[in-house]
A = this chain, B = another copy of it.
Amino acid sequence: MTRGEAAKKREEHEVEFSRIVAFSDGVFAIAITLLVLNLHIPKELHGESVGAALWHERESLLAYGISFAVIGRYWLIHHRLFGEVTGFDSRLLGLNLFYLAWVVLVPFSSEVIGDHGSETGGIVIYAVNLAVVAVLGWVMAADAHRAGLTRLRSEDEREYRYRAFFVALVFTASIPVSFVAPSVAPFLWLALFLDPVERFGVGRAERSTG
């Protein structure tokens, strides 16, 4: 019996399946909302104005914006993947949990880079965390695809892989740069706004809607 045959069919276990999705959504929603706890203006300002205190928080605010965008994007990808999932087994559930464990770390990394964004160590922690999420997202998609648990066509799966590789590449590339020029490294992340599939047609499937 193959994994695909042994797996629980989604249509026969709709309640159980939607619980997995709801749990994942809950974790994403909480992780993205906890980002706000990294923002603080001290109660005692010692003569400083509130505006000046906000200006001191600019790196944390920037980290909030980037992390919200990145978690949001990962959520959209997760959302699209599970929209195509047709069956699940304990391995997919295990991979999903492992993936979520790295998503939940983002508020921590985001706090670190907000406080230490100009230091190599801060950038490395953040970049490693987000690269791992991208790679694990792809591993989950590829594993489910290979096991016959998705409706993904091979071209779709390839598109996934290219996208995940691109995100992981951007974050990984910033690591060596952070050792040489820590203040430059975060600017590399702007490349994330490019979409290699949309822009260069790399590994493009013919699907029209996404």
Contacts and interface: CB of A to CB of B under 8 A. Distances in A.
A101 interface: yes
Contacts of A89: 209
Contact of A111 (B19, B41, B97): B41
Interface in A3-17: 6-8, 13, 15-16
Interface in A105-138: 105, 107-108, 111-112, 115-116, 119-122, 124-125
A166 interface: no
A176 interface: no
A27 interface: yes
Interface residues of A, number: 69
A23 B29 CA distance: 6
Tell me if A's interface is mostly helix, strand, loop or mixed: helix
A21 interface: yes
A112 to B, nearest CB: 5
Interface stretch (A48-56, A140-148, A149-157): A48-56
Nearest to A29: B26
A36 B107 contact: yes
A45 B119 CA distance: 12
Interface of A: 1, 6-8, 13, 15-16, 18-23, 25-37, 39-41, 43, 45, 49-51, 53-54, 64-65, 68-69, 72, 75-76, 79, 82-83, 89-90, 93, 97, 100-101, 104-105, 107-108, 111-112, 115-116, 119-122, 124-125, 208-210
29 contacts: A1-B208, A6-B209, A7-B209, A15-B21, A15-B83, A16-B83, A19-B82, A20-B79, A22-B25, A26-B26, A26-B29, A26-B30, A30-B33, A30-B34, A32-B104, A33-B34, A33-B104, A36-B108, A37-B37, A40-B108, A41-B115, A49-B121, A50-B116, A50-B124, A51-B124, A54-B125, A72-B97, A76-B93, A76-B97
Given A33-B34, A54-B125, 4 more contacts: A50-B119, A51-B121, A68-B97, A76-B93
